[in-house]
Every structure is written in structure tokens, then in C-alpha cells.
Chain A
Amino acid sequence: MKKIKKIEIKVNGKFKSVTENYKISNLVKDLKIPLKKVAIELNQEIIDKKKISKIILKKEDKIEIVHFIGGG
């Protein structure tokens, strides 16, 4: 049986272990992120939310998912 390879990425400052060929769209689904209410950065570059199913994550990728909260 082929062993599933895992890679480590960082999401909002926390390490996360994911399988190879894991896309940003998988992450959004797994974390139940309301896509319309967030913005996503991959290695400090803003990602077009329409293209998240095409972006495969690589080892040590850093993802930031942000939204609006109360503030002055």
C-alpha cells in the first residue's frame, strides 16, 4: 500500500499537517471558512478567491485568513 505523504503548512500562525495535493479550497472547506466574509493571503500575497481550487499548497506555505471584527 502506498503511504500518504504529509506536508506541514502554517495557517494563521498555527502549524497544520495536510496531505499532498491539498488545495486552498480544501483548507477553506475543512475549516468551514465562510469564503464571502474573508480574505486569504498565501505567503503575503493576496489570493483571488475564485482561484482557490487551483492552488496546491507546498511545504512551509504560510496562509493568513482574515475577516472583520469589532474595532475603533
Chain B
Amino acid sequence: MKNDKIIIASKKFNSRLIVGTGKYRNMAECAKAIKLSGAEIVTVAVRRVNIIDKKKPLLMDYIDPKKITYLPNTAGCFTSEEALRTLRLAREIGGWKLVKLEVLGDKQNLFPDMIETLKSTEVLAKEGFKVMVYCNDDPLMAKRLENSGADAIMPLAAPIGSGLGIQNKTNIQIIRKQTKLPLIIDAGLGQASDATIAMELGCDGVLVNTAIAKAKKPFDMALAFKNAVIAGRQSFLAGRINKYLYGNASSPKTGIIK
């Protein structure tokens, strides 16, 4: 496990848990939860500077981008144009090339618009971005993203913020078999065991925001997710037993007292 690092766009990370920085009560709570989660990558949003209230706390004052990798995200973008504009701005802030692309197509369930996503991936890859792509759990689309230059495939477990956990294990396993790119479950996890399941399916990592930020005790949940991801990864590497329909005794059948 010691050398079991996740490599994203040629960069090595120890933690396989990526966390979002949204929905926390305040910046201090967010920063502490991230620390407890052990995450080395956090997603961030690009928004207008508040030019009226200049005393509003800044994310960078709480989470040091020199210590934690910022992953600018296009959450809230519904067209390729919006997403590209957002990520070009993100790059301009300080040279960020590793980005998370998310182009939504539906305001109610927040499913990705895969046609716009695919278009954006091609453009971003050509512009030199390292693109981690939020997508549906569709193996064919995942393949197309890979062929378009994606650096990581990030299928949803369930709708964003739903907490439903992985809905289609089969598709996730098929995507796992077909790609060598980092496969990271993004969106829809509800509790720590959901992360373990993702890792046991062979995923390289998980991205969690709401399940930690909105838990009754976010700090405890951050720690739970950290442990769950480690447990799931260990379990996957250890290799599970085959499944049998009938019982198979654990104790020797010989030497039984008569």
C-alpha cells in the first residue's frame, strides 16, 4: 500500500479521496474537514469577486493552494461555451491546467450533457488543459471521452447531492475494464460505505462533497470517508473470494469429537 499512489496527469497523489469545498457552514469548517479527510485535491468553483463586501473571507486564505491541489470545476455551467470560459479564467488565476469539466444538461437531476461535455473535452485537451471529466456511467461515452483526450473519467454514482450511492455497478465495472485512465466516482455518494464499494469495484478514487459537508458531524464523516477509501482500496488489492450459492464451512471437517 505504501507505494500505491494514484497518478493523475503524470502527478502522483497519496490520497484517493478528492473532496469538494462547497456547502460547508463556513470556511474554517471546510478547511478542517479537508484536513481530516486527508485529501490532497479539492474542487473549487470560479465566481465573481464580491466587490461590495470586501471583508468576505477568501478560500485561499483558508486552504493553501501550495499545499493542496486546487481542481477548478465548471459546476453550474450548462453549455460548452460557459465551461470553456470558466476554465480559461481559472487557468489565468494562477496557471491551473488540471481542471474538472462538468457541463450540465438538466437543472433538476444535474445529469451531464454528454454532447457538450465531449465537445469541451476536445477543445480543452487541444489547449493544453489536463481534463478530468464528469460523465454518465455510460461505457461508450467514457470511451469517447478517453479518445478525445480526457485525463480522468469521472462517472456519477447517482445524481449530484442525492446521496443514493452507486446505482449501476455493472457499468462502472465495464468502464473499469476498458480504461487505464484514472477512474474516479464523482457525485451521488451518501455514506462512507458507498466509497468503499466504489474502490472495491476497482475505481482509482472518489470525489465527495455533500456527503461530508452536510453530514450531521462533517468532521467525523470526513474521517469516515478517508478510512472507507483506504479500506476499499486494500480490499480490492487483496482480491476478494469467489461467490458461492451454498455454505462452505470454515472449520476442518476432520477430527470432530464423536
Query: Residues on A close to B: CB < 8 A?
Result: 11-14, 31-34, 36-41, 44, 46, 49, 64-72
**Distance in Å from the Cβ of B77 to the closest Cβ of chain A?**
11
Q: Which residues on the A side are within 8 Å of B70 (C-beta)?
A: 68
Q: How many B residues, CB 8 Å from partner?
A: 36
Query: B51 contacts A68, CB within 8 Å?
Result: no
Partner of A31, one of B22, B54, B72, B93: B54
Query: A72 contacts B20, CB within 8 Å?
Result: yes
Known pairs A37-B93, A39-B90; A70 contacts B46 (CB<8 A): no
- In the complex, A68→B71 CA distance in Å? 10
Query: Residues on B close to A: CB < 8 A?
Result: 20-24, 27, 30, 43-49, 51-52, 54, 58-60, 70, 72-73, 75, 85, 88-90, 92-94, 160-161, 187, 209-210
Query: B75 contacts A72, CB within 8 Å?
Result: yes
Query: B73 contacts A66, CB within 8 Å?
Result: no
- In the complex, A71→B60 CA distance in Å? 13
**Distance in Å from the Cβ of A33 to the closest Cβ of chain B?**
6
Q: Which residues on the A side are within 8 Å of B85 (C-beta)?
A: 44
**Distance in Å from the Cβ of A42 to the closest Cβ of chain B?**
12
Query: B27 contacts A34, CB within 8 Å?
Result: no
Query: A69 contacts B47, CB within 8 Å?
Result: yes
In this complex, what residue of A is CB-closest to B30? A70
Query: A66 contacts B160, CB within 8 Å?
Result: no
Query: B45 contacts A70, CB within 8 Å?
Result: yes
Q: Which residues on the B side are within 8 Å of A70 (C-beta)?
A: 20-24, 27, 30, 44-45, 59
What are 9 A-B pairs at a CB distance below 8 A? A31-B49, A32-B54, A39-B89, A41-B89, A65-B51, A67-B59, A68-B46, A70-B24, A72-B73
**Distance in Å from the Cβ of B132 to the closest Cβ of chain A?**
13
Query: B48 contacts A66, CB within 8 Å?
Result: yes
Query: A12 contacts B51, CB within 8 Å?
Result: yes
Q: List 10 additional contacts besides A72-B21, A72-B23, A72-B45; criterion CB under 8 Å.
A: A14-B51, A39-B93, A64-B89, A65-B48, A66-B93, A68-B72, A69-B47, A70-B23, A70-B59, A71-B73
Q: Which residues on the A side are within 8 Å of B209 (C-beta)?
A: 72
In this complex, what residue of A is CB-closest to B207? A72
In this complex, what residue of A is CB-closest to B47? A69
**Distance in Å from the Cβ of A6 to the closest Cβ of chain B?**
18
Query: A33 contacts B43, CB within 8 Å?
Result: no
**Distance in Å from the Cβ of B119 to the closest Cβ of chain A?**
19
